[in-house]
Amino acid sequence: MNEERRKILDMLAQGKITAEEAEKLLDAVGDPGSGTGAAPGTDAAGRRPWKYLRVQVDPGPNSESGDRVNIRVPFKLIRAGLKFAAFIPREAHAKVNQAFKEKGMDIDLARITPQDLEEIVSNLDDMTVEVDGKDTVRIFCE
Amino acid sequence: MLIRFKIKEPGRRGFGLWFPVIIIWILLAALMLVLLPFLLLAALVTSWRGPGVRLLLIYPLLASVLWNLGGLTIDVDQKERVLLIDFI
């Protein structure tokens, strides 16, 4: 509970304000549970609406290639591209599922709905991957 | 929206190009128009078993991908080549 909400509830408990006034004040400061009054620059869930997925590869001290890669992909493009998943032929599903299984993921491609894909994309913002090997790979949102 | 394309190899003069995406849109629209009868035929043929009418969704999906290309940046800096593709 944040400080403002606590103060309002204290005032209500002390009888300085009525329940109606408290309700109005609480609405004004926002209810984190309802998603209103989110901090500036955040979405309804209180998360910052990331725009891009970044992939950076920087050569490490032992890098053989010395390649430097910087890719920035808009989330809108990822969402648009994912819709093409509907065109994966059914015959290919078994092969894709098998490939997933070999990587330790028990996923049935036929059961993945557009809502699932949307959920995956909307949760990508929580992801940061950093791999330090010969090259340093960073995957993050910005 | 503009595309910035740059390629540079050591010891050679680099090549850079800026051009509006609308040129690609126009070329692609013409290509789509030419391919439309074939797509309709493919949708008809595969309607019994296969993607069928879903094939017609390719056009709006492709348009949506192209529409959302703004902000895409691919920057690869190799020893022998530097490549930059940027949608602004």
Tokens representing A135 are: 């090259």
Structural domain contains residue A8: yes
Tell me how far apart the alpha carbons of residues A51 and A124 are, in angstroms, rounded to a whole number.
Answer: 11
pTM: 0.65
More confident residue, A3 or B24: B24
Q: Are A73 and A131 contained in the same domain?
A: yes
Q: Are A63 and A124 contained in the same domain?
A: yes
Instruction: Please report the pLDDT score of residue B73 as a whole number.
Output: 94
Instruction: Please report the pLDDT score of residue A123 as a whole number.
Output: 75
Q: Are A78 and A125 contained in the same domain?
A: yes
Structural domain contains residue A47: no
Instruction: Please report the pLDDT score of residue A73 as a whole number.
Output: 92
Instruction: Please report the pLDDT score of residue A39 as a whole number.
Output: 52
Q: Are A73 and A106 contained in the same domain?
A: yes
Q: What's the rounded mean pLDDT across residues A115-131?
A: 72
A and B: number of Cβ contacts within 8 A: 58
Average pLDDT, whole number, for chain A? 75
At residue A45, what are phi and psi to the nearest 5 degrees?
-85, 5
Q: Are A105 and A73 contained in the same domain?
A: yes
Instruction: Please report the pLDDT score of residue A70 as a whole number.
Output: 93
Domain that holds residue A32: 1-41
DSSP output for A65-134: S--EEEEEEEHHHHHHHHGGGGGS-HHHHHHHHHHHHHTT----GGG--HHHHHHHHHTGGG--EEEESS
CB contact under 8 A, A83 and B72: no
Q: Are A62 and A125 contained in the same domain?
A: yes
Instruction: Please report the pLDDT score of residue A19 as a whole number.
Output: 75
Residues of B with Cβ-Cβ distance to A89 under 8 angstroms:
50-51
- Shortest distance between the Cα of A81 and any Cα of chain B, in A, equals 6
CB contact under 8 A, A51 and B71: yes
Residues of B with Cβ-Cβ distance to A52 under 8 angstroms:
71
Q: Are A27 and A67 contained in the same domain?
A: no
0.90 surpassed by complex ipTM:
no
Per-position b or e across B74-88, b if 16+ CB within 10 A of its CB: ebbbeeeebebebbe
Structural domain contains residue A36: yes
More confident residue, A63 or B64: B64
Q: Indicate the domain borders of chain B.
A: 2-87
Structural domain contains residue A104: yes
Confidence band for A21, pLDDT divided at 50, 70 and 90: confident
Instruction: Please report the pLDDT score of residue A34 as a whole number.
Output: 46
Tell me how far apart the alpha carbons of residues A133 and A62 are, in angstroms, rounded to a whole number.
Answer: 8
Burial of A2 by CB count in 10 Å (0-12 exposed, 13-18 middle, 19+ buried)? exposed
Given CB atoms, is A114 within the 8 Å cutoff of chain B?
no
- Shortest distance between the Cα of B85 and any Cα of chain A, in A, equals 10
Count other C-beta atoms under 10 Å from residue A26's C-beta: 16
Q: What is the domain count for chain A? A: 2
Tokens representing B44 are: 């008809």
Structural domain contains residue A133: yes
Residues of B with Cβ-Cβ distance to A53 under 8 angstroms:
none
Structural domain contains residue A101: yes
More confident residue, B22 or A1: B22
- Shortest distance between the Cα of A75 and any Cα of chain B, in A, equals 9
What pLDDT digit, counting tens, does each position of A127-141 carry? Answer: 777 777 778 888 888
Closest of B86, B81, B54 to residue B70, by C-alpha: B86
Structural domain contains residue A46: no
Tell me how far apart the alpha carbons of residues B77 and B28 are, in angstroms, rounded to a whole number.
Answer: 30
